[in-house]
Chains A and B, each alone.
Chain A
Amino acid sequence: MSYWEIFTWLTVIILGLGSIMVFLLFVRDIKIILKKFRED
């Protein structure tokens, strides 16, 4: 496996896991915001 390929797999992991983690945090925040909208 070349360094190029190892680097690419590393970016695949960062992108895949990173986007899921950010999205989960987003869901946590948006729940609070939507609740505020419903109350208004």
Chain B
Amino acid sequence: MYSLAIIDYIIVIGYLSGMIGVGVWFAKKHTDFEDFFLAGRSLTTPILITTLISTYYGIDVLFGDTQLAFTDGVVAWFGYARPTYAFFLIAALLLAKRLREKDFKSLPDILYLYYGNKARYVGALTSFIYSLPALSLYGFGMLAEVALGWEPIFGMLILGGIALVYTLTGGFWAVALTDSIQFVMMCLVIAIAFPFAMNFIGGFDSMIELLPESYFDTLGDLNIFLIIIYASTGLSILVEPTFYQRIFAAKSYKNVRNALIIGIFIWGSYDWIITILAMSAKTAVLQGLLPTDVAPDAALLTVVIAALPAGIVGLFIAGVLSTEMSTLDSYCLVAGGNVSYDIYKPAFKPDVSDKELIKITRYGVLLSWILGFGMATAFKQMLGLWVFLSSILISSTLVPILLGLYIKKFRKPLAGFISSGSGLFSTIILNIYIMAKGTFDPLEETYIVQWFGIDFLQEFVMYITVPISLIGFIIGLLIERRIEK
């Protein structure tokens, strides 16, 4: 553990107090549910850029990109991060415009409009499960352990608790405003960290000399199927509930499009620098500057904390806290909205007042935080959990949402319900089967089961479940047509 200087503590405490202050300031300023949940649909391009980038980063930074970069090199950017930008571009040019054509408030709202309440409830359930902040809370635990020397559970409770407080009190305005402050902090500290990390390992050339050649191979040592799988995780953008929330909260489609196109350059730069920083951590291990037992997912934190001087370390920790907080607050708020707007209102009280809806959303935020905390402390394999959560969302919503958005005659209630239901059901069954019957491979950090002589990884599940969802959709369509005839 690195021992922090007083200035570092002052910076971190100042930052955390500021976040709570923002939440308290906004606490009584909401006029209605739309204002609380979508900031009155008034987000401009700069606010959208900051909130989109800071929300989307968190999980990837700590568990995906840097872990892969530490073990495999630049393929983390070329194979894992880069394809995501293509999905962002698709979202900017094609998807966002469609999503702005109606006054949607949430992802399940789309399922409701095209397929009715049954599909909406399935969508609300999967969106809620996907939005549980287990990974962010786990990230807080890890950060507290590596940087502050705390027990992980205290890190989760204290740091995650602060994000919970300002989300509960301030709603989406507080989330968007804190995201913006968090955005500039996380970007600047990563940019500042690069020269210090290079100085720590003796320059960029040390990496080229010491790391195996495969670290600079754009496809690395990874098998092509795994690269395709990693790349296709970017598909989740097309049905990401927090991403949708920001599209709905924008002033206009133009704001979303511009924010996404500008954001791609910042995303790309951020991803590349953290890839290089994780590789510098590997170099430092080979040089004996860092211990050999550095966990791959803690590599970025370890090398940067070791390389930065006092004061800047405080900024860096505040920046990493920002990365996680901006993710946690956004997901908790979406989960809260799923409980109140997508389940409570249509199922129990259609004429609910805005005041009560805000209250129920706050209960939902709290519920999601508690469940996320339970998962973060109970599960050991966070990467596996992340794959499971995203495959649930993609498998149950990708097909009905995209087909519903683009093909009018496909908007049949049974098609939407069977598609989302079969996607959800098959994902749960397959994941349970693989975890129960397969073996955990510590190298791949995933469960593997042997099928017909082929190693079937847990990450491959959605290659079965998305087609199942599509088949379910077609079956639903055929039944509907038969009934109509």
Contacts and interface: CB of A to CB of B under 8 A. Distances in A.
Interface of A: 1-2, 4-5, 7-8, 11-12, 14-16, 18-20, 22-23, 25-26, 28-30, 33, 37, 40
A15 B50 contact: no
Given A11-B273, A15-B269, A4 B204 contact: yes
A14 B46 contact: no
A9 B165 CA distance: 38
B205 A11 contact: no
| B contact face: mostly helix, strand, loop, or mixed | helix
B204 A5 contact: yes
Contacts of B74: 4
Given A20-B188, A22-B262, A8 B47 contact: no
What does DSSP make chain A's interface, helix, strand, loop or mixed?
A: helix
A33 B42 contact: yes
B296 to A, nearest CB: 21
Contacts of A25: 45-46
B276 A8 contact: yes
Given A12-B273, A22-B49, A37-B29, 13 more contacts: A4-B204, A4-B216, A5-B204, A8-B204, A11-B273, A12-B194, A14-B265, A15-B190, A15-B269, A15-B270, A19-B266, A29-B46, A29-B47
Nearest to A10: B269
Contacts of B46: 22-23, 25-26, 28-29
B204 A2 contact: yes
Interface residues of B, number: 34
B283 to A, nearest CB: 13
Contacts of A11: 268-270, 272-273
- Residue of B187, B195, B266 contacting most chain A CB atoms (<10 Å): B187
B194 A22 contact: no
Contact of A12 (B177, B205, B269): B269
29 contacts: A1-B204, A2-B208, A4-B216, A7-B272, A8-B204, A8-B273, A11-B269, A11-B270, A11-B272, A11-B273, A12-B194, A12-B195, A12-B273, A14-B265, A14-B266, A16-B192, A18-B187, A18-B262, A19-B187, A20-B188, A22-B49, A22-B184, A22-B262, A23-B183, A23-B184, A25-B45, A25-B46, A28-B46, A33-B42
Contact of B50 (A8, A23, A37): A23
Contact of B194 (A8, A18, A40): A8
A26 B187 CA distance: 15
Contacts of B44: 29
B191 interface: yes
Contacts of A8: 194, 204, 272-273, 276
